[in-house]
Every structure is written in structure tokens, then in C-alpha cells.
Amino acid sequence: MVTNERKVQWKYYFTAGLITLVIFLVGIYFSFFLDKMKVSSLEGSVREMRITQEDAELEMTAINLLGGKKCDVLLHEIEGIVPKAAELGEKLEFYEARERFQDPSYPSLKKDYTLTLVRYWLFVSKAKDDCKYGYEPILYFYSNDKCDDCIRQGTVLSYLKEQHPQKIMVFAIDNDIKLGSITLIKGAYNVTKTPSIILNETLFEGLQDLGKTRELLNLTS
Amino acid sequence: MQPIDTAYLSVFFIMIYSSVLWFIVFFRNKNDFPVTAGSPSITFLVPAFNEEKNIGRCIDSLLSMDYGGEVKIVVINDGSTDRTGEIAKQYAGKVTVLEKPNEGKKSKALNYALGKLPVSTELTACMDADSYVSKDYLKRIVEHMGNADAVTPAMKVSEPRTIYQMVQWVEYCFAIFLRRVFSVFECQYVLPGPGSIYRTASLKKAGYFDENNLTEDMELAFRMHDNGQKIGNCVNAFVYTECPDTFRKLLKQRVRWYRGYLQNVFKYRHMILNPSYGNLGIYLIPVNFIWIFVLLFLFIYPIFNIASQIWDFSIRWSSIGFALTQPKFNIGLVYLDFYIVFWALFWVLNIMTVYLSITASGEKVDLKARKKYYIGYVLMYPVMLTIFWIAALWDEISKARLRW
């Protein structure tokens, strides 16, 4: 039993609490600032992607009007654009999966990206038909909501793309995104579940494992 | 925001708060020491069990101290089977040697000496036989006594050789810093075996050492607080001690220490959140528990996270037939974690604390010569600390028998 009561030095606790709160709030502010910078960076990349895509479409139109070796030029453009679009898609997916305080402008950003990606897919599909390119544009519908097969399908497609970069182009669309054009495309191909891939105007629903996907793409290895 | 994010932010708040509190207390009281005039007489009690390699060094350091008052040295040969007793007796005339059969506990050896002698000097000190003191240790520690009933020294690791000893070297420097803070807060909860000194009357009043306790030095500190007695600290009275050189030995030592802490907190549980016990009851004991949870959270949750990621990775990898792919490095602004700012803040404060601890303990940081120490401390210490606590909690919960 204590006979000499000790003083609790509250002033130290309060001072430390105040300073910690200030440091903490500064930390929160910087975290939000960092988040804004991330979104700003992504917005810049999506804008650049959209400009590049519009430029490529304009090029095609110009070549059609003015003549010229359009297919060589276009192939060069497409081979540059599509991998960058895929990389941007991965960044968006990473941001969406990991970010704790998502910027309110992110949903619009994602829609912007998706629309641009769909334009790419349409453009690339048409260019393939016009120029008889050897690559296969794949429209791939996935979901982030309890879809383990989507993870597997995404891995298969990424792996095959890595193995055959000149042959495979993957356009990955979030099935849960609400856009009129996406709904239209899904309706046209009768996409009802995820994962689903559209290849050569044909829908393949459910997980297409590595062997099956190779078969669909006529790949020997 | 998920519940796990709330947990992480709370943990960061606690870690930053603790560091800020320590800094404020340390800097506000850096040069605020009680000063005692004079050189009161003192008896050093040195219990020794099979310390033939170290006992000579210990006694030599005590005999070499620069001190104006009377110093008595009593070695309690605790049933040693090596040459400890023989070496101690070589100092006949300067050192009293008491022989005692070994009963497995240092506290019994100390109490034996305290009961048998009796101690007639004004002060009593305890010294582990594997430790030694700096020349000015006694002058400084007595100077800083003021009106305290006991004073703790600044302990350092003697000649670290293995990585475990290097990590402990940094840890002990940090402990010097913390003891200063605890001294200001009057909440020192351990009187280290090597080098703590007591007013003999206060030690008698406290009732000497509890022979049934795993950590008798900690129990005595708690008891002294319970009696309203005061414990001070001297940051520059240096005692050098041997530390475990392997993980196994260190684990055994720390499990004993931490189990001892848990047992003593339980024994003195009436202190918890009791303002009568000042900062010890309101701050130190509750915060130590919070820190245990913080450690466990920071260690266990990432393990689950990594296990989950390994599981996800194996699912993905199995879908491509375990084929080898090019490694991918996610570099870019987007990949920076939300918590990176807080981790950066925490590490800045951590580095500042370590720097302050090392300089406060009179050492040079010397990054080049001591880089292994610091790398070991940063990478290994948090993991080791968590393992020690998990082992101690497990042992305590399962009430495993532990030999001192």
C-alpha cells in the first residue's frame, strides 16, 4: 500500500497527445495528398491513352482518304498502344484493390478508361479485318467480386500474352461497371457470367484453362 | 475503410505517441538531476556461481573505482564447482568471501549475505559476477541519488561478439534512454542486478529479495513502489555486463524476464490504472500491455497477409502449370502504400530514438564500425521481441516450469 502518493504528470501526456495528433493529421493529409497524386497520375495516363487512340483512328481515316501504306503504320501504333493500355489497367486494378480512401473521382476515371479500352478493342478488331493482321484481340470480362476463376483466367491470359506478344491482345473489362456501351456489347454476345472471353466474335463463358485457351488461340505451346 | 485499417492507424498512433512522449520527457529533464554531496559507505554484494572467467574482472573493477568513501566487497560463492571461490579468495584483505551451497537462486545468495553479515554501510549495492564497472560509476551513481531509496545504473553490453550481442548492445543503449524517462516519471519497474544501489535502511524496510520470484530485481522494484519508496536513475554510471550470445540463451533469458514481469504485474495488480501509484499505475503498466498487443499485431497480421498472398500466388501459378514467368516489379506512384507516410514517420522517430539513446549513453554512433549492430537491430529485434513475448505468454499461460 503506497504511503507517499505519486503525482501523475498529466501535462506530459496532454502535450504528447496534442503533438501526436498534429503529426497524425499531417500524416493523414499527406496520405490523402499522395492518393490525389496517384489519381492525377492515372487521369493523365487515361487522357494520354484516349488521345493516342483518337489519333490512331484519325490516322486510319486519313490514310483511307489520302492513300498510303496504312497497315504497316497502324500495326506499329497498335503494338505500342495495347501493352500500355494493359499496364494502365493493372495500375487501376491495383489502386482499386488496395486504396483505403478512394478518391471520389476514381469511378469516373475507371469509366473513362473502360470506354477508351472498348474503343481500342473495336478499332483493333476492325484493323485486323482490314489489314489481315495475325494477332487475336480478346475481350475479357472479369469481376472483382468473389470470382476466383477470374483470377485464374486473368493469369492464363497474361501468361499467354507474355509468351506470344505479337499474337495476343487482351482487353480486360470489369463486368460490374455500369456503362451503356458495355451493356450493349454484353447483350450482343450474351455475356451472363464471369469470366467470359470474346474471341473471333464467339463467346466462351466460364474458366478456359491454359490448355483450352491455347486451343482456342491455335497456339502450339 | 476496413476494421484492419482502423487497427493499423491505432497502432501507428500508439507508436508515434510513445516516441513523442519519451522525447518530451527526456529533453525537458535532460539536465535535471538530484545531486548528493559526500561519499557514503557502501557494500557491494557479488553473488557468483561458476564465474571463474569473470569474477576477477568484476572484483578488479570494484577495487579500481574512483570513490572517496568506504567500499566493502562481499563475494557470495554460491556453491561454484569451478575456481570462482579460489579466485575470489586471492583478494583476501580487500574482499570478504562467503561460502554457500547452491540453491539455484541469486535472491537466496543475496539474502544470505544480507542476513549473515549484517551490512553496516549506509548503502548496499548488488553486482553480478559477470559484470564490471567504469572507474567513475560509483561516484556518479551516488551523486545522482538525491533522496531516492535506490538508484539504477546505465547498463551496457560488454564486448559484443555475435549478432545477438550486437542487437542487445543497441537495445541496452535504448534502455538507458528509457530508464531516464522512467526515472522522471517515477515508474522504474526493475532494479537491474548489476550495479543498482540501495540505501541499506530502505532495502531492509522493503524486506530484501523475494526468493520465490522469477525476477527478484523487478519484484523488489514493484515492492518499493508499493511502499512509497523512490527509485532514481543515473544515465552515466556505466556497468558492463555479459549478454547471451546465442538465440537459444537469449530466448531463455527473455522468457524468464517477461514471465517475471507478467507475474509481478499480477501480484501488484492493484497498481493498474491506480492514480495513487502515479505514472506507474496510470501509464507504464497499461501501456506495456498495449505494446504487447501492438507487437503481436504487427507480427501476426503480416504473417496472415503473407500466407494469404502465397495462397493467391499458388492459385495463379497453378493455373499456368507452374510455368516460370518473368518477374514483375511494380514500380510507380500508384504502388505506394497508403501507410507509407506513417511507416516513414515511425521509422524517422525510431531512428531518432536510437540515435538519442546511443549518444545519451556516451557512445558514438559510428555507422561504419557498427553497421551490423544497427542492421541487426532494425531487422531482427522486432521479430525477436515478438517471439520472446509469444514464448513468455505461452509459457505463463501453460504454467511451464522454468529454472532460473
pLDDT digits (tens, 9 = 90+) for B118-167: 899 999 999 999 999 999 999 999 998 988 999 999 999 999 999 999 99
Identify any residues that bridge with A136 across adjacent strands, giving them in sequence order.
Answer: A168
What mean pLDDT do residues B33-59 have? 92
A123, A25: one domain: yes
- Bond preceding residue B47 cis, omega within 30 of 0: no
| A139 and A122 within one domain | no
Taking only residues 167 to 196 of chain B, the set having a beta carbon closer than 8 angstroms to any beta carbon of chain A reads 185-186
- Answer whether residue B107 is part of any domain: no
Report if residue B90 sits inside a domain.
Answer: no
Distance of CA A201 to the CA centre of its chain: 22
- Whether the per-residue pLDDT at B61 is higher than 90: the answer is yes
Is A27 close to B24, i.e. CB distance below 8 A?
no
The CATH number linked to A114 is 1.20.58
Could you tell me the pLDDT band of residue B322, with boundaries at 50, 70 and 90?
Answer: confident
- Chain A residues in contact with B17 by the CB 8 A cut-off are 16-17, 20
- Chain A nearest-CA distance from B338, in A, is 6
Taking an 8 Å cut-off on Cβ atoms, the answer to whether B16 and A20 are in contact is: yes
The pLDDT of B322-345, averaged and rounded, is 77
My answer on whether A106 and A186 are in the same domain is: no
pTM for the full predicted model: 0.84
Q: Above pLDDT 90, what percent of chain B?
A: 70
Residues 21-50 of B with CB under 8 A from A: 21, 24-25, 28
Inter-chain contact B278–A38, Cβ cutoff 8 Å? no
Tell me, yes or no, whether B276 lies in a domain: yes
Q: What is the ipTM for the molecules in this complex?
A: 0.86
Q: What are phi and psi of B274, to 5 degrees?
A: -100, 115
Q: What is the pLDDT of residue A76?
A: 77
Which of B14, B325, B333 to substitute to test the interface with A, most A CBs within 10 Å? B333
Least confident of A94-108, B15-29, B80-94, B218-232: A94-108
Q: Do A100 and B325 touch (CB under 8 A)?
A: no
User: B246 CB contacts (<8 Å, ≥6 apart)?
Assistant: B162, B164
Chain B, residues 249-278, CB within 8 A of chain A, namely 275-278
Distance (Å, whole) CA B15 – CA B357 = 17
Does residue A14 share a domain with residue A122?
yes
Choosing from A88, A105, A132, the residue where a domain stops is: A132
CB of A204 closer than 8 Å to CB of A216: yes
φ/ψ bin of B153: left (φ > 0), alpha (ψ from -120 to 50), beta (otherwise):
beta
Tell me: do A92 and A167 sit in the same domain.
Answer: no
- A123 and A216 in a single domain? The answer is no
Beta carbons of B24 and B180 less than 8 angstroms apart: no
Residues A65 and A121 in one domain: yes
Read off the C-alpha cell for A219.
497456339
Choose between A165 and B24: higher pLDDT: B24
pLDDT higher for A62 or B176? B176
Name the band, by pLDDT with cuts 50, 70 and 90, for residue A1. very low
Q: What is the spatial distance between Cα B222 and Cα B274, in angstroms, rounded to a whole number? A: 14
Closest CA to A41 of A109, A142, A138: A109
Which pLDDT does position A70 carry in this prediction?
A: 73
Domain count, chain B: 1
A128 and A41 in a common domain: yes
Q: Which of A9, A19, A94 sits opposite B334 (nearest CB)?
A: A94
Confidence of residue B53 (pLDDT cuts 50, 70, 90): very high
Check CB contact of B319 with chain A, cutoff 8 Å: yes
Positive or negative CA dihedral for B128, B129, B133, B135? positive
Residue A77 lies in a domain: yes
CB A106 within 8 A of CB A96: yes
Buried b (16+ CB within 10 A) or exposed e, B94-115: ebbbbebeeeebbbbbbbbbbe
Q: Do A118 and A147 belong together in one domain? A: no
Separation of alpha carbons B150 and B46, rounded Å = 17
Of B105, B101, B103, whose CA–CA distance to B77 is shortest? Answer: B101
Give the mean model confidence (pLDDT) for residues A151-176.
Answer: 89
B193-252 residues touching A, CB cutoff 8 A: 225-228, 230
Of A86, A112, A132, which closes a domain? A132
In a domain, B113, yes or no: no
- Which one of A1, A2, A34, A45 makes the best mutation probe of the B interface by having the most chain B beta carbons within 10 Å? A2
Is residue B394 over pLDDT 70?
A: yes
> In what side-by-side order are the strands of the sheet with B150-157?
B95-100, B71-78, B42-48, B123-126, B197-199, B150-157, B231-241, B132-133
What was the pLDDT predicted at A101? 66
Give the model confidence (pLDDT) of B302-318 as tens digits: 888 889 888 888 888 88
**Residue B399 is assigned to a structural domain of this protein:** yes
Question: At which residue does the C-alpha cell 561478439 appear?
Answer: B161
Q: Which chain A residues are closer than 8 Å to B320 by Cβ?
A: 155-156, 159, 210
Domain presence at residue A3: no
Give the closest-approach CA distance of B343 to chain A in angstroms. 10
Q: Is position B119 within any domain?
A: no
Is B400's pLDDT higher than 70? no
Q: How many CB atoms lie within 10 A of CB B348?
A: 12
CB-neighbour burial class of residue B89 (10 A; exposed 0-12, middle 13-18, buried 19+): middle
Cβ contacts of B116 within 8 Å, gap of 6 or more: B98
Instruction: Return the C-alpha cell found at B396.
Output: 505463463
Q: Is the pLDDT of residue A2 over 50?
A: no
User: Tens of pLDDT along B213-226?
Assistant: 989 999 999 999 99
Q: Which of A2, A8, A91 sits opposite B282 (nearest CB)?
A: A8
Using alpha carbons, select from B320, B137, B313, B147 the residue that is nearest to residue B238.
Answer: B137
| E runs forming strands in B143-299 | 150-157, 197-199, 231-241
- For B335, the 3-state DSSP assignment is helix
- Could you report the per-residue pLDDT of A30-75, keeping only the tens digit for each? 888 888 888 899 999 999 988 888 888 888 888 778 776 777 777 7
Of the candidates B2, B226, B280, the beta carbon closest to that of A1 is on B226
Q: Say if B386 falls within a structural domain.
A: yes
Query: What is the model's pLDDT at position A173?
Result: 93
Report the C-alpha gap between B238 and A163 in whole angstroms: 65
Single-letter code of the amino acid located at A105: S
Q: Look up the domain containing A141 and give its range.
A: 134-221
Q: Does residue A125 sit in the same domain as residue A156?
A: no
Residue B179 maps to a domain: yes
Computed over every residue of chain B, the mean pLDDT equals 91
Is A1 part of any domain?
Answer: no
| CA gap A102, A99 in Å, rounded | 6
Q: Give me the number of domains chain A comprises.
A: 2
Question: Are A161 and A217 in a shared domain?
Answer: yes
| Domain containing residue B194 | 1-37+131-404
Last residue of a domain, one of A78, A104, A132: A132
A144 & A91 share domain: no
Name which of A10, A22, A23, A45 to mutate to probe chain B: the one with the most chain B Cβ atoms within 10 A of its Cβ. Answer: A23
pLDDT in tens, B225-257: 999 999 999 988 999 999 999 999 999 999 999
DSSP per-residue codes, B82-106: SSHHHHHHTTBTTEEEEEE---S-H
Query: Which residue from A195, A188, A53, A62 is spatially nearest to A123, judged by alpha carbons?
Result: A53
By CA distance, what is B333's nearest residue in A?
A38
DSSP B280: I
